[in-house]
Chain A
Amino acid sequence: MLPVERVIGEEGLARSAEGLKLAMRLPWYRSLPFSVVEVASLAIDGAAVDLSDALIEYDGQTWPLAENGEKVDTFWFIRDSAFLVLPSQSAVAGSDHEVSLNLFVSPPYIPGMKRTNPQTSTLTVAA
Chain B
Amino acid sequence: MATNATGPQTGVTLYSFTNEWLTRQFEVDTLLAEVAKRGLGPNIEIIGFQQFKEFPDVSDEYAETFKELIAANGLNPVSCAINSDRFLKPGQQPIEDAALVEYHKRQLRSAKKMGFSLVRYQFALPVHLLPEIAPYAEELDIRMGVEVHAPMWAGHPAVQAYGEMYDKLDTPYLGWIPDFGGTASRIPESMLDAARAKGASEDLLDKLKEVWLEDGMSHEKAGRLREWGMAHGHAPLHIQAACLAFFILSNHDPKSWAALVDRTIHIHGKFYGVSEDLVEEAIDYDTILPLFKDGGFTGTMVSEWEGHAYDTRDAFEQVRRHQAMARRIWGN
Please say whether chains A and B are actual partners in one complex: yes
The tally of residues in B whose CB lies under 8 Å from a CB in A reads 39
Q: Is the CB of A77 within 8 A of B53?
A: yes
Q: For B136, what are the chain A residues with a Cβ–Cβ distance below 8 Å? A: none
Interface string of A16-33 (1 = CB under 8 A from B): 000000000100011111
Q: Which of A6-22 contact B (CB under 8 A)?
A: 6, 10
Interface string of B83-114 (1 = CB under 8 A from A): 11111111100010000000000000000000
B residues less than 8 Å from A4 (CB atoms) = 18-19, 22, 308-309
Q: Give the contact stretch, choosing among A39-47, A82-90, A105-113.
A: A105-113
- Size class of the A contact interface (CB-based, 8 Å): 20 to 34
Given contacts A36-B88, A108-B86, contact A2 B19 (CB under 8 A): yes
Residues in A neighbouring B218, C-beta threshold 8 A: 110, 112-113
Whether B50 sits at the interface, judged by CB under 8 Å, is: yes
Give A109 to B83 CA distance when docked, in angstroms: 7
| A contacts with B: majority SS | loop
A127 to B21, CA, bound (A): 29
**B139, chain A: closest CB distance, angstroms:** 24
Q: How far is the CB of B108 from chain A (nearest CB, A)?
A: 16
Q: Which chain A residues border B53 with CB–CB below 8 Å?
A: 31, 77, 79-80
B89 touches A69 (CB 8 A): yes
* Alpha-carbon separation in the docked complex, A79 to B84 (Å): 21
- Chain B residues, Cβ within 8 Å of A2: 19, 308-312
Contact of A109 among B87, B217, B312 (CB under 8 A): B87
Q: At the interface, yes or no: B23 with Cβ under 8 Å from chain A?
A: yes
Q: Is the CB of A33 within 8 A of B87?
A: no
B1: min CB distance to chain A, Å: 28
Q: Which residues of B contact A123 (CB under 8 A)?
A: none
| A78 and chain B: residue at smallest CB distance | B50
**Residues A75 and B219 in contact in the complex (CB < 8 Å), given A108-B88, A116-B240:** no
Report which B residues bind A (CB closer than 8 A): 15, 18-19, 21-24, 47, 49-50, 53, 55-56, 83-91, 95, 122, 124, 217-219, 222-223, 236-237, 240, 247, 308-312
